[in-house]
A and B are shown apart, each in its own frame.
Chain A
Amino acid sequence: MLSYLISSLGFLGAIMLQFGVISRTALLSGFGDLVLLFVAAWSLHQNSKHFWVLVALFGALVGFISAVPAFIFVIVYLLVYLGATAIRLRVWQSPLLGMFLLTFVGTLLEHVLLALVSLFSGASFSLQLAFNEILLPSVLINMLLAIPVHALVQEITRSIYPQGYEV
């Protein structure tokens, strides 16, 4: 129960930081997704059975705040959670590598879906512009933020799960 409480607080903190700070700190036109990083890092280290419910709930909350349809974030975050679970079971000795992999793939997946939403909503869309001005800077920021987020979540999960999965 404590892990659910702390992870919920972590989700709330990540969402507030995302909308209040990260989204206003753009590199070209791209910026990071702290919630995605939190989902990836926590999923790599958590040991709770129903954590995916929290992922879905907070993904829906992000979608509710955002102008993007809510199911996009639910899908992306649940896929990141599933990916983290698969990585944890196979390459559990190197959680940081898993974090980088999840961040990279998750960001690509998220941006593909967001770009598709933007495209289907009738917006004038330039693939080259989206790639150069939004996708690449966002991937770079996410990869840079992945290290401190992973370190922080690892420290928190060590105190919650004394027999944690990380080495």
Chain B
Amino acid sequence: MRNLFTSKNIRNVVIGLVAAGLVFLAVSGYLTPIFSFSLSPVISGQSWLAQRYLAVRDFLTSPREMATLRQENQELRDEVSQLQGEIVALQENLSQAQILYTLLDFARSNPEHEYVAATVIGRDISPYMQYMIIDKGSNDGIQYGMPVVTQQGLVGRIDAVIANAARIRLISDANSYVNVRLQNADVEAQIHGSITGEIVLDMVPQSANVSVGEVLLTSGLGGTYPPNIFVGQVITMQSKQNTLFQSGSVQAMVDFSSVNAVLVITNFDVVDITPLVP
């Protein structure tokens, strides 16, 4: 046993015991407050450093992200615009299809006639004349004088035709005359248009009792229109004692300002009575 308790050995043992004690205390959790207290400045410093680093990194990288986001935003906007355009186109197609379905229903319910459906593509440039232009012409079998209707009633007749288009003279035109029959009064009369598009009922006998709301149908007289097509309703009537006939105003069944599609009756033979006119 030679000199085990030297100062060096004692120091090592003390250090070992202190270390073991610290490890034991640390494992037991008794040193946590001390660690927390002593590490808090380090953690604060680390947080400050990390925040500054993130700020610098964001500063350096954000322009690229902004550009990317803007590009994505623009792409999405373009896509939205494209989709909105498709929606509008689909809605237009749906509207057109609904109109055509309605016309088809009308054609099915009136099988005595043959029809050609056409889209209205324009109105006449003269405000004194009531004409429409449609996208079907002689290539589709349309000829001069053919009657034109919608599911609501009479529109007019073909006035001029070229290969792929035709012009319709509306019944509201000032030079348009239609022989009509008052449905309930069982009286025949005549309507004609005016320069402003209003329709005038004329040639109603004084003896006839015509009430407001009376429905007008084509009579077929004159051979220019087929009989029994709805024309309009009587709005007002005037009866003067010094005239031969009563007159009145008529509301057309068809709203000419909003007509988008029409049916041309192609199997109606127009009777030309010009040679009989004195």
Residues of A whose CB lies within 8 Å of any CB of B are 18-20, 23-24, 26, 28-31, 33, 35, 62, 65-68, 73, 114-115, 117-118, 121-126, 129-130, 133-134, 138
Name B195's contact: one of A33, A62, A66, A118 (CB within 8 Å): A118
Please judge, given known A-B contacts A118-B195, A129-B195, A134-B196, whether A29 and B125 are in contact too, CB under 8 Å.
no
Please judge, given known A-B contacts A19-B133, A124-B174, whether A65 and B125 are in contact too, CB under 8 Å.
yes
Number of A-B contacts (CB under 8 A): 91
Mask: chain B, 145-177; 1 = CB below 8 Å from A; 0 = not: 000000000000001100000010100011100
Name B169's contact: one of A67, A114, A130 (CB within 8 Å): A67
A121 to B129, CA, bound (A): 11
Name B124's contact: one of A28, A66, A115, A124 (CB within 8 Å): A66
Between A and B, 20 residue pairs with Cβ closer than 8 Å are A19-B122, A19-B125, A19-B133, A23-B124, A23-B125, A24-B123, A29-B196, A66-B124, A67-B124, A67-B129, A68-B124, A114-B126, A114-B127, A115-B128, A118-B174, A123-B128, A125-B174, A125-B195, A134-B127, A134-B196
B136 contacts A by Cβ under 8 Å = no
B230 nearest CB across to chain A (Å): 23
Q: Which residues of A contact B197 (CB under 8 A)?
A: 29
Q: Which residues of A contact B128 (CB under 8 A)?
A: 114-115, 117-118, 123, 130, 134
Of listed A30, A67, A123, residue having the most chain B CB within 10 A = A67
B194 contacts A by Cβ under 8 Å = yes
Q: Which residues of A contact B173 (CB under 8 A)?
A: 123
Please judge, given known A-B contacts A67-B160, A122-B175, A125-B174, whether A134 and B195 are in contact too, CB under 8 Å.
yes
Name A123's contact: one of B121, B195, B257 (CB within 8 Å): B195
CB-based closest 5 A-B pairs: A123-B174, A19-B122, A23-B123, A29-B196, A118-B128
B131 contacts A by Cβ under 8 Å = yes
Q: Which residues of A contact B181 (CB under 8 A)?
A: none
Q: Which residues of B contact A24 (CB under 8 A)?
A: 122-123, 257
Indicate if the CB atoms of A67 and B131 lie closer than 8 Å. yes
Residues of B whose CB lies within 8 Å of any CB of A are 121-129, 131, 133, 159-160, 167, 169, 173-175, 192, 194-197, 200, 257
Indicate if the CB atoms of B126 and A68 lie closer than 8 Å. yes
Q: Which residues of B contact A114 (CB under 8 A)?
A: 126-128
Indicate if the CB atoms of B129 and A20 lie closer than 8 Å. no
A138 to B127, CA, bound (A): 9
Q: Which residues of B contact A23 (CB under 8 A)?
A: 122-125
A133 to B195, CA, bound (A): 9
Residue of B with least CB distance to A36: B125
Indicate if the CB atoms of A124 and B194 lie closer than 8 Å. yes
A126 nearest CB across to chain B (Å): 7
